[in-house]
Amino acid sequence: MHFSRSLFFMAMGASMVLARLHGHERRHAHVQHRNAAQLIEERGVGDPVTATIDGKVVTWLDNYSGGSPTKPADYQPPSATTTSNSLPASTSPISSASNGTYSTGFGGRTASTGTGINKKGNCGEPYGSNIILIDNDVADKYDYVIQIVGCPSTKHTVGFWNKIGRDGNLDGWYGDATLNFVVNPGETKTVAVDEDTQGAFGITTGNSLPRDQHGGYDCTWGEFDFCNSDNHNWSGFDVSVIQAQAAGRTPEDLEMCDPAAGVCSCVKQGGSYVSNAYTQSQANQGGIGGNLPAGKVKLVATLCP
């Protein structure tokens, strides 16, 4: 679903749409199976909105006025050492991968709360410890991994962030990438992601991810949602150039694929070639990208497809 001045709950068929929140422009939330489509009439800004989602009554204030939500002019993301009481308490630290006693290196898991647009998944305890860089040769020991394949001749900077920020709001992309590294020409690096994590990564040929006037990352994004507990442990992914195009930037090329499922999402040639990926004109659509049933997932993200 997405938010505009009206809220639509779309009836879905056999497939499920994953939760992929994207910056100012797109407001996706988890859409599970519905018996019928529901339409809530247009409301004014600040009016309460009440809806029944999968048998549960949910109420919130309609604070969307048709424009882009912004951070205050003096907004600065928390430092890496900042902790927050806004996220739910974590479980015990993870000590083993699914195939044995291998120590994963993840921190604790924050408890998942809420549903739909209000869902807050695992953000790691400490914050960001749910997304880690690992050696390429141990990737098979993890359930959810993204392999980053570098360009033949161009260096890239890559930054990963959680959808939910340290303050418990949907603002993790406002300059708060918790894992940053360089992929040199011809190099491959592997990132492991813990279950029930929703997030994204950005790429650039510069030394740091570019930001818009609000502090949000305005580069090419690779979005992911692994083992979503609110969606029967399904996973999903997509490439998005919405933020880059909104900022007037030429998007970096990126292709994300699940080789086992045979599905890809790709943008290349500076945005002139798009396949199963998000552009600015598709910001309000749902279901683009890969949607994967419960189970292990290994994605391959190629920086120069």
In a domain, residue 199? The reply is yes
Task: Specify whether the CB–CB gap between 22 and 242 falls below 8 A.
Answer: yes
Distance CA 41, CA 213 (A): 33
Confidence band, pLDDT 50/70/90 cuts, at residue 284: confident
pLDDT at 102: 54
pLDDT at 217: 97
Instruction: Summarize the confidence of residues 125-134 as an average pLDDT.
Output: 97
pLDDT > 70? residue 44:
no
pLDDT at 197: 97
CB-count exposure of residue 255 (10 Å: 0-12, 13-18, 19+): buried
Tell me how many domains the chain contains. Answer: 1
What confidence tens digit (pLDDT) does each residue in 131-174 have?
A: 999 999 999 999 999 999 999 999 999 999 999 999 999 999 99
In a domain, residue 3? The reply is no
In a domain, residue 284? The reply is yes
pLDDT at 69: 40
- CB burial of 155-178 (b: ≥16 within 10 Å; e: otherwise) equals ebbbbbbbbbbbbbebbbbbbbbb
Distance CA 215, CA 71 (A): 7
Distance CA 37, CA 289 (A): 22
Amino acid identity, position 281 = S
Distance CA 133, CA 106 (A): 10
* Domain around 249: 91-302
Which residues have CB under 8 Å from 118's CB, separation 6+?
Answer: 58, 60
What confidence tens digit (pLDDT) does each residue in 225-263 have?
A: 999 999 999 999 999 999 999 999 999 999 999 999 999
What SS3 state is found at 97? coil
In a domain, residue 221? The reply is yes
pLDDT more than 90, % of the chain: 62
Confidence band, pLDDT 50/70/90 cuts, at residue 104: confident
To the nearest whole number, what is the mean pLDDT of the chain?
76
pLDDT at 225: 96
pLDDT at 20: 41
Distance CA 239, CA 21 (A): 13
Closest residue by Cα to residue 78 from 26, 32, 123: 123
In a domain, residue 268? The reply is yes
pTM of the full structure: 0.72
pLDDT at 114: 86
pLDDT at 10: 25
